[in-house]
Each structure stands twice: as structure tokens, then as C-alpha cells.
Structure 1
Amino acid sequence: MRATLYYRGSLTSCNYACPYCPFSKNVDSRETLNKDRAQLERFADWVREQGALGHQLSIFFNPYGEALIHSWYRKAMIEFSHMAHVEKVAVQTNLSAKLDWTNELNPDTAALWATYHPGETKEQAFISQAMKLYELGISYSVGTVGLRQVFPAIRSLRAQLPKEVYMWINAYKDRPHYYTDAEVADLTEIDPYFQWNLKDYSSQGRACRAGADVFYVQGDGRVKHCYQDRRVIGHLYRDGLEGLSAQRPCRMKECGCYIGYIHMEEQPFREMYGSGLLERVPRTTMTIY
């Protein structure tokens, strides 16, 4: 079976304090960090076993917090990237951690989704980190939330990154009709895919690969249908992929999150992004600017 797994353990600590982000600044206790590490080690054991069972995996780490400041996530990224049955391992990160370990990654399978947080880091520091990945040939995208006050920072970042590095902009949806038509046009010049994220997708009762071959794994092994339709559909370590897999129409009225709507059957995103789907790198990166 070919499956995609989104993994989220007990980690809730982030070294940033972005006001718009649900991953608010928090300091996990040593107990919580030890629990998170043990959970990931158990998950890694399970991943190792799947090759012998004939499964091909794509894995995306998106914890509530910053993963790469913790050694166990870096270790897992390196190991998974060299496993023959892992087609992709990616992580959502703010790029604040040292990147000396990334030269151990297999650039054919490892990828990063890097989020730029103006106000939390200096622009040149972020660009320096991004360029290290570029020089290593590791697939990555960069992006930020499209708040009006950071428009100048968005334009500046785009101007300084290599043209072939895709920069996405997450639409700010907390306020209805937040953008003017002119602002949408300006942001679309920077991110040609901005309008795909600007809207929400009618999803209730519609077919989605979530729960069929896309699974949202919690640190304790519970598997949710997705992060919006949060029903628990089984347990990874008890049921295995075959036991979890079933067609399950979405129960939510709408889906507005990239890691959800890209898996809707009727949407074109798998074709648009191809092998860069997890790290959010579209097929046409070389020609969209």
C-alpha cells in the first residue's frame, strides 16, 4: 500500500510567539518532551517494519510547535530519508534550528516546508537558512501568512530568494473579505497559487483520500480522519494501514486548510504539485514567475 502519514506527537513548544498562530509560545516540561521523544521512537520502529510488509510511505511532521530544535526529529528525518520504502519525509519548520545536520539527509526524499515569521526572526537570517537548503539541493518551499502589515516583508523576501524557490502565501481568513481586489492581484503576482488557498472548499459528503490512504497519526497511535474532521478512525499500531483504510466522506461543511483540501478527490492538487505535494512545491515552479 502507498500511504501518506501526517504525524503529530505531544510536542507543543515553539520558540516563536506569532499572534495569528494556534501554536502559541509555550515551554514544554521535561516530562512532555520525554513523552514526545518516546512517541516518535515508537513511530520510527513502526516505520522501519513497513518495508518488509510491502508498504511505500510518505511522512510529514507537523507538530504543535517547532520540531527541528529537538534532536529526535532531526534523527528521524535523516533515517527516514534513507529508507528504501519511504518516498518522502517532510517537516513544517520555522528554520530557526541549526542546519548543519541537513547534509546527512537524502536530498532525493527529504523536504522542508519553511514558514517565514516577520517579527520573530530577521529577514537575512531566514534567507541565509533558506540558501543553505538551496545549496544542498533539498526540496523546500517558503511562505508566510498574508497579513496586510507584512506585505513589504513578503515582497522583500520574494525578491531575494532564487526564482526557482516557490513562495506561498497563506490567505488570512479570520476576517471575511479581508483583501481588496488589488491586494489579491498583487499577492497572486508573488504566489500564482494564492487564489487556490484564498477560498474554502465545499467538502461535506465529498470523497477525500483522508482515511483511505492519507492518515493523521497522533503520538499515542490514534489516527484521526483529518485535522478538521477529527473523528478517530482507529489505532496505527493495533490496526495497521490495511485495517485503517476505508472510504470515508468528509463530515465537515468546508475545508480551508492546505493539508486537508489537497487530498480531496475532485480537486486538481495532486496533479498540480506532483511529488512536491507535502512540502508544497508545485510542478511548475521553474516557470510560474
Structure 2
Amino acid sequence: MKAVIYYRGSLTSCNYDCPYCPFGKRRDSTATLAQDQKHLERFVEWVREQAAEKHQLSIFFNPYGEALIHRWYRHALAELSSMDHVEKIAIQTNLSARLDFVDQLKNHKVTFWASYHPGQVQPTSFLQQCQFLYERGVSFTVGSVGVHSAFAAITELRANLPKDVYVWVNAYKDKPDYYSDKDIEFLKSIDPLFGLNLMDYDSQGKSCMAGVNVFYVQASGRVKRCYKDRAVIGDLYRDGLVKLSQKRSCRMNTCDCYIGYIHLPELELENVYGSGLLERNPRL
């Protein structure tokens, strides 16, 4: 089976304090961190075992908070990138960690979904981290939440990154009618595909690859078809991918997040993003 696995461990902490995020400046206990490391190591070992099952896997780490400040995530990326049956590994990160570990990675497999948070980091520091990845040939995209207060920072970010680094913008949807037509025009000048993210897609009852060959795995091994659908469809370590895989229509009214709606077949977004679908790197 060719499958995509989203993995979210036990972390609920971050070294940033973004006002729109509930995990800012929270610290996990020593016990929670130890449990998170144990869970991740178990997951990596399970991935290793899938070579014998002839599965081809792409893995996306989307933790609550920042993962790369913890050594076990850096070690996991290196291990996974060495596995022949693992085609791609992506991770959401604010790039605040030391990045010299990337020299241990198979660069063609690992890509960074780098989130820029104005007010949490100096622009020059963030750009230096991006340049570090760029000079080493490590794939990455950069993005930010499109709140009004970030417009100037997003403009500066786009102007100072290499032209072939894609900059995406997440639409701020907590307030209705948040954007004027002028705002949308500006954000499309930064991210030509901003209009795709601005929409909420009617999804209830519709076909989705979530639960078929896309799985959302929690730290303990519990599997959900979608990160927003709370229903548990099985256990990764007990059931395995073949048993977990079933056609399941969407139970949610709408799908409004990139990591969800890209798996709706009717949108055909593989035609827009090509091989960069997972990490949001379109072929423009």
C-alpha cells in the first residue's frame, strides 16, 4: 500500500507565544516528554517494519507546539530518511531549533513546513535559518497566518527569500468577513493559491482519501480518518494499514484546513501541487 501518515505525538508545548495558538509558552512535564519520546520511537520502529509488508509511506509530523527543539524528533527524521520504503518526510516547525542535524538527512526525502510567526522571532534570525536550509539543498516552504497585523512582515519575508521558495498564507477564519477585496488581492500577490485556502469546502458525505490511504495517528497508536473527526477507526499497531483502510465518506460539514481538503478527490489538487502536495509546494 502507498499511504500517507500524519503523526501527532504527546507534545502540547511550544517555545513561542502566538495569540492565536492555545499551546504558546506551555511547558510539558518531564514525564510527558519521556512518554512522547517513547511513543515516537515505537512509531519509527513500526515504520521500519513496514518494509517487509511492501508498504510505501510518506509521513507528516504535525505536532502541537514545536518538535525540533527535542532531540528525539531530529533523530527520528534522520532514521526515517534512511529507509528505502519511506518516500517523503515533512514536519511543521518554526525553525527555532539548531539545524545542523540536517547534514544527517537524505535531503531529497525531508522537507520542512516552516511557519513564520512575526513578533515571536526577529525577521533576520528566521531568514538566516531559511538560508541555512537553502544553501544545503534542503526542501522547505514558508508560510504565516494572514492576520492584518502580519501583512508588513509577510511582505518583507517574501521580498527577502529566494524566488524559488514558495510562501503560503493561511487564511484567518476566526472572524467572519475578515478580509476586504483589497486584502485578498494583496495576499494573492504573496501566495497565488491563497484563494484555495480562503474557502471552506462542503465535505459532508463526500468521498475522501482519509481513512483509505491517509491516516491520522496519535501518540498511543490510535488512528482517526481525519484530524478533525474524533471517531477512532482502529489502532495502528494492532490492526495495521490494510485492515484500517476502508472507504469512508466525510462526516464533517465542511473542510477548511490544507492538510484536510487536499485529500478530497473532487478538488484534484494533485494537478496543482504535483509531487509537492504533502508539503504544500505547488508546481507553478
Equivalent residue number for residue 40 of structure 1 = 40
Q: Distance in 2 between matches of 1:22 and 1:132?
A: 29
The aligned counterpart of 2:280 is 280
Give the distance between the partners of 1:192 and 1:22, measured in 2 at CA: 29
Q: Which residue of 2 aligns with 1:223?
A: 223
Deviation at 1:268, TM superposition (A): 2.1
After superposition, what is the alpha-carbon deviation per residue over 1:240-268, rounded to whole angstroms, capped at 9, x for unaligned?
00010000000000000100000011012
Q: Work out the percentage of aligned pairs sharing the same amino acid.
A: 61
Residue 236 of structure 1: how far off its partner (Å): 0.2
In the TM superposition, residue 105 of structure 1 has moved relative to its aligned partner by 0.9
Give the Å deviation of 1:228: 1.1
Report the counterpart of residue 108 of structure 2 in structure 1. Answer: 108
- Structure 1 residues not aligned, in runs of 5+: 285-289
| Matched-pair contact (CA < 8 Å) for 1:263–1:270 | no
Please give the root-mean-square deviation of Cα atoms over the aligned residues, in Å: 0.7
Tell me, yes or no, if the aligned pair for 1:16 and 1:120 is still in contact at 8 Å: yes
Q: 1:185-196, aligned counterparts within 5 Å?
A: 185-196=185-196
Task: Name the SS for the 1:189 alignment partner.
Answer: helix
Distance 1:180 1:229 in 2: 31
**Structure 1: how far apart are the matches of 2:6 and 2:25?**
22
Q: Which residue of 2 aligns with 1:233?
A: 233
Quote the residue 1:10 is aligned against: 10
Structure-2 separation of matches of 1:98 and 1:276: 25
User: Residues of 2 paired with 1:9 and 1:149: CA distance?
Assistant: 31
Q: Could you give the per-residue CA deviations for residues 199-239 of structure 1, whole angstroms, max 9, x where no partner exists?
A: 10000000000000000000000001111112100000000
Q: Gapped runs of 5+ residues in structure 2?
A: none
Letter in 2 for 1:38: K
Partner Cα distance (2:263, 2:180) in 1:
29
Deviation at 1:52, TM superposition (A): 1.1
Instruction: Give the structure 1 partner of residue 30 of structure 2.
Output: 30
Q: Could you tell me whether the CA contact under 8 Å between 1:90 and 1:110 is conserved in 2?
A: yes
| Deviation, structure 1 residue 25 | 2.3
Please give the alpha-carbon distance, in whole angstroms, between the structure 1 residues aligned to 2:231 and 2:220: 15
Question: What's 2:88 paired with?
Answer: 88
One-letter amino acid of the structure 2 residue matched with residue 129 of structure 1: Q
Moved more, 115-124 or 274-283: 274-283
Counterpart of 1:50 in structure 2 is 50
- The residue type equivalent to 1:228 in the other structure is K
Q: Partner of 2:169: helix, strand, or coil?
A: strand
CA contact (8 A) 1:56 1:86 kept: yes
Deviation, 1:21, is 1.7
Partner AA of 1:127 in structure 2? L
Q: Contact 2:15–2:24 at 8 Å: present in 1 too?
A: no
Separation in 2 of the partners of 1:23 and 1:262? Answer: 25
Contact 1:7 1:60 in 2 (8 A): yes
Q: Determine the structure 2 residue equivalent to 1:122.
A: 122
1:19 maps to which residue? 19
| Structure 1 residue 81: Cα displacement | 1.1
For the Cα contact (< 8 Å) 2:4–2:215, is it kept in 1? yes
Equivalent residue runs for 1:178-217 within 5 Å = 178-217=178-217
Code of the residue aligned with 2:175 in structure 1: it is R
1:256 corresponds to: 256
Deviations 1:169-226 (A, max 9, x none): 0000000110000110011011000000001000000000000000000000000111
State the secondary structure of the residue aligned to 1:210: coil
User: Aligned equivalents of 1:278 and 1:77: distance in 2?
Assistant: 16
Structure 1, 18-27 or 35-44: larger mean CA deviation: 18-27
Q: CA deviation at 1:89?
A: 0.6
Could you tell me how far apart the structure 2 residues matched to 1:51 and 1:194 are? 38
Q: Whole-Å Cα distance in 2 between the matches of residues 271 and 22 of structure 1?
A: 34
CA distance in 2 between counterparts of 1:56 and 1:230 reads: 26
Measured after TM superposition, the shift of residue 13 of structure 1 is 1.2
Distance in 1 between residues matched to 2:152 and 2:8, nearest whole Å: 33
Q: Which residue of 1 aligns with 2:63?
A: 63
> More displaced, 197-206 or 224-233?
224-233
* 2-structure distance, mates of 1:188, 1:16: 27
